[in-house]
């Protein structure tokens, strides 16, 4: 019997989007970090990870998906932060035959965060009318414990616990030596650490260990620098950022101190607004 045709993958990046609030303390631009969407595809069918935030982003992404001329079979959600699921239902209008898959924990958290199918008002404050219309709560199925098949190839989901939020999962594509890591791994962008206290940092290190144990050659970060590829070395880069940020959290007494220290010590990373978003959650001021 001949082997199934090889899978491929491509990454589309929705570039950083302006947000109305909160302004940065250094008067720099306020932007939501760029978002990665991975299309894993075979000869006839494909899986997409983590839809974007705004309707405009989703419409551009949909056109890119259609250009591959394969049937979108699955939309996989790595975790329950709104910027990784908000336009799922909007995309399903273009791809009604696709099935949404995620861990039971992720689906449950999304449902709790979107009562009545509506995003919280704070997200409307960020993006206004650019957000999708309700209902935004996707109807999803639990990712099968024994994996999915895409054109005959195995795709596996691994629940790795807390990263920048609880109940994070990653997608492993063994035939590609690929892990689509959601927000477990960041690629040269400032990391959201608003949920880092009370054991959050330590749990994130453990999640990185679980990704590294899969021994991927390629790792797609949920937020990435558009100028860079998808190296497995981003696992260690993410770990080093946590080292720095954890030290700064311990030494800082207020939001401004944290913002300035992380921006200075990780100056190569893009989008400092994410530092400020973290600071607002970490410090009461």
pLDDT, residue 2, reads 54
pLDDT at 208 over 80: yes
Residue 211 sits in a domain whose CATH number is: 3.60.15.10
pLDDT digits (tens, 9 = 90+) for 211-250: 999 999 999 999 999 999 999 999 999 999 999 999 999 9
Q: Indicate whether 2 belongs to any domain.
A: no
pLDDT, residue 285, reads 85
Q: Indicate whether 1 belongs to any domain.
A: no
pLDDT digits (tens, 9 = 90+) for 145-193: 999 999 999 999 999 999 999 999 999 999 999 999 999 999 999 999 9
Determine the 3-state secondary structure of 4 from DSSP. coil
Q: Indicate whether 102 belongs to any domain.
A: yes
pLDDT digits (tens, 9 = 90+) for 50-91: 999 999 999 999 999 999 999 999 999 999 999 999 999 999
pLDDT, residue 177, reads 98
Distances (CA, A) of 148 to 76, 127, 196: 11, 34, 32
- What's the average model confidence in pLDDT over 9-21? 96
pLDDT, residue 5, reads 73
Task: Quickly count helices (H) and strands (E) in the chain.
Answer: 8, 15
Domain of 133, in residue numbers: 8-282
Distance CA 48, CA 10 (A): 10
- What's the average model confidence in pLDDT over 255-259? 98
Q: Indicate whether 44 belongs to any domain.
A: yes
Q: Indicate whether 157 belongs to any domain.
A: yes
Find the helix or strand (DSSP H, E) in which 75 lies.
strand 71-76
Determine the 3-state secondary structure of 169 from DSSP. strand
Question: What is the count of structural domains for the chain?
Answer: 1
Q: Indicate whether 3 belongs to any domain.
A: no
**Mean pLDDT value across the chain:** 97
- What's the average model confidence in pLDDT over 10-15? 98
pLDDT digits (tens, 9 = 90+) for 91-149: 999 999 999 999 999 999 999 999 999 999 999 999 999 999 999 999 999 999 999 99
pLDDT, residue 3, reads 64
């Amino acid at each position: 019997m001949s082997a199934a045709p090889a899978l491929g993958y491509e990454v589309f990046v929705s570039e950083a989007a302006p947000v109305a609030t909160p302004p940065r303390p250094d008067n720099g631009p306020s932007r939501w970090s760029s978002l990665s969407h991975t299309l894993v595809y075979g000869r006839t069918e494909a899986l997409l990870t983590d839809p974007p935030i705004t309707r405009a982003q989703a419409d551009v992404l949909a056109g890119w998906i259609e250009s591959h001329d394969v049937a979108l079979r699955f939309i996989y959600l790595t975790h329950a932060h709104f910027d990784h699921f908000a336009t799922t239902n909007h995309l399903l209008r273009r791809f009604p035959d696709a099935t949404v898959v995620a861990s039971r924990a992720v689906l449950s958290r999304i449902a709790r965060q979107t009562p009545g199918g509506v995003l919280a008002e704070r997200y409307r404050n960020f993006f206004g009318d650019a957000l999708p219309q309700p209902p935004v709560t996707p109807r999803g199925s639990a990712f099968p414990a024994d994996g999915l098949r895409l054109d005959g190839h195995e795709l596996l989901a691994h629940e790795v616990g807390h990263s920048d939020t609880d109940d994070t999962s990653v997608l492993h594509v063994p035939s590609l030596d690929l892990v689509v890591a959601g927000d477990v791994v960041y690629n040269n962008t400032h990391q959201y650490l608003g949920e880092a206290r009370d054991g959050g940092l330590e749990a994130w290190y453990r999640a990185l260990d679980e990704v590294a144990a899969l021994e991927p050659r390629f790792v797609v970060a949920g937020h990435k620098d558009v100028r860079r590829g998808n190296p497995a070395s981003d696992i260690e880069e993410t770990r080093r950022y946590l080292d720095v940020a954890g030290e700064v959290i311990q030494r800082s007494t207020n939001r401004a101190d944290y913002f300035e220290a992380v921006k200075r010590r990780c100056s190569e990373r893009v989008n400092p607004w994410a530092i400020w978003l973290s600071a607002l959650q970490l410090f009461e001021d």
